[in-house]
Amino acid sequence: MSNNEFIVIKALEDGVHVIGLTRGTDTKFHHSEKLDTGEVMIAQFTDHTSAVKIRGYAEIQTAHGTVTSDSKSK
């Protein structure tokens, strides 16, 4: 898959989880990355990754716009 798009995830609290889900028939967690406040992860959708789940309070920038996820306690 050729994909130059990437998403930017900036943690706005400690312990934000960026979870990669597999592409294909089975949709499973394959990677979990923990970010603390201010940490940034830049990620792409790949042959292995079809979806990304964000747990916790973070700003997510995509080509489609910016969205803020909330933490459970909010």
Which residues of this protein are in contact with ligand TRP, per CB under 6 A?
18, 20, 31, 43-44, 46, 48-49, 52
**From the CB of 1, what's the least distance to ligand TRP, in Å?**
10
Residues ≥6 apart with Cβ < 8 Å to 63: 5
CA angle 21-18-30, nearest 5°? 30
Q: Which two tokens stand for residue 13?
A: 């609290």
- Shortest reach from residue 30's CB to ligand TRP, in Å: 7
Minimum separation from the CB atom of position 34 to ligand TRP (A): 12
Residue 25 vs 73, nearer CB to ligand TRP: 25
Cβ proximity to ligand TRP: between 48 and 68 the closer is 48
